Structure 1
């Protein structure tokens, strides 16, 4: 078996608000929207990458404070922080640099899930 990550599901209160955050704030394109078993669903992410699946109308089985976070790689942590500040998105935690090759910070999505933005640095 050689599995590869396809998507991560987040159960959200308001699909439109969540789509706005992931599309307008983080820049993830909508790949498709559909309804299944009475639930509105949106898949976001670039064609060649794993997707974020947003499902509205479901009971949240995982609460944001239970340690769920979704991580994204950025080219420049400083640029990402500045862009998010410009868009009115506060930094929830960080920046944090646990070692010389990695730094990251967190923001919260509309449902309180932690979104980690990370930059890997060249080896020193």
Structure 2
């Protein structure tokens, strides 16, 4: 993975999958030149998300593509993801950084300047 290469950031979203698995979407994204893949499963149980993350992490690693897990620090850590993307209602970024470690990628959604501070 090339740290900080965000030219093509693909998101596997359950609501947009159209019957394809997250693995299939990630594989297609990697073949298409994605430089980062984010696993986004808002409505699935943690175990289902972990299974998908365990399938996608090695694909990304082999291709040198950053693998990011949406919302779930626990899933990111267990699956060996490069990072996690959190929202305003998730754990605070400072605590996520402490859990993930200094080398992990940590992204935070911010719709306003105040949310970004």
Scaled by the length of structure 1, the TM-score of the pair is 0.30
Higher RCO structure (Cα 8 Å, ≥6 apart):
1
The structure with the larger Rg is 1
Higher helix share: 2
Higher strand share: 1
Scaled by the length of structure 2, the TM-score of the pair is 0.32
